[in-house]
Amino acid sequence: MPKTLAYLRVSTDRQDLNHQRLEILEYARREHLHIDEFLAISVSSQQGRRARKIDELLNLLAAGDTLVVTELSRLGRSTGEVITLINDLLRRDIEVQVIKQNLHLDRQQNDMQAKIMITLLALFAELERDLISLRTREALAARKAQGIPLGKPKGTLQVSMYDKDQQRIVELLSLGLSAKKIAQHLGYGHPSSLNHYIQTRKLRPVSE
């Protein structure tokens, strides 16, 4: 027999969890729904699916069931994750009702509305990514305009393939070997990059 399940999630505030429960019960009363089960969790949205009991939620739902949430943000950490979850639910013929966004997504009874809403959500996800990218570029431009250096500070040494052999390179330099000879001895290719490594890290003996 089809059932209606309500999913509630808050970060830490128990009072907010109770508020969600009351909001869903009031919605159920207006819509003449009977909530068969509440799945409530107090955990940050930054936690993984297991911590947020998303997998448990999917296991509790079957074809013909209805999922009720107060708002879309309760279902995922990002727009993309929410879209993926809703698509999964609709493919399994599970109706999704979202109170604040006034969404009734039912693949069987209103396939066109479901497709339109998923398309819009996908566009919102793309917009979200574009806005993040735009804010990043604007922040970098603002730092540059203020004269704040971008990237790593000048003089920062990059990780190098020669790092693991640095002690051996120092020993060979102390014996008077050239960068070319050291490169050959250690099995490296062209000695120019090794020479640059030696210079930037000041590995040559002071007497040279």
Per domain, the residue ranges of the chain are: 4-127, 163-200
Q: What is the pLDDT of residue 132?
A: 72
pTM of the complete model: 0.55
By C-alpha distance, which of 9, 5, 6 is closest to 76? 9
Grade residue 66 by pLDDT with cuts at 50, 70 and 90.
Answer: very high
Grade residue 24 by pLDDT with cuts at 50, 70 and 90.
Answer: very high
Examine the pLDDT at 122 and tell me if it is beyond 70: no
Grade residue 68 by pLDDT with cuts at 50, 70 and 90.
Answer: very high
Q: CATH topology for 4-127? A: Rossmann fold (3.40.50)
Grade residue 208 by pLDDT with cuts at 50, 70 and 90.
Answer: very low
Q: What is the pLDDT of residue 176?
A: 84
Q: What is the pLDDT of residue 46?
A: 65
Q: What is the pLDDT of residue 150?
A: 64
Q: What is the pLDDT of residue 65?
A: 94
Percent of all residues in the chain with a pLDDT value above 90, rounded to a whole number: 20
Examine the pLDDT at 130 and tell me if it is beyond 70: no
Examine the pLDDT at 75 and tell me if it is beyond 70: yes
Grade residue 12 by pLDDT with cuts at 50, 70 and 90.
Answer: low
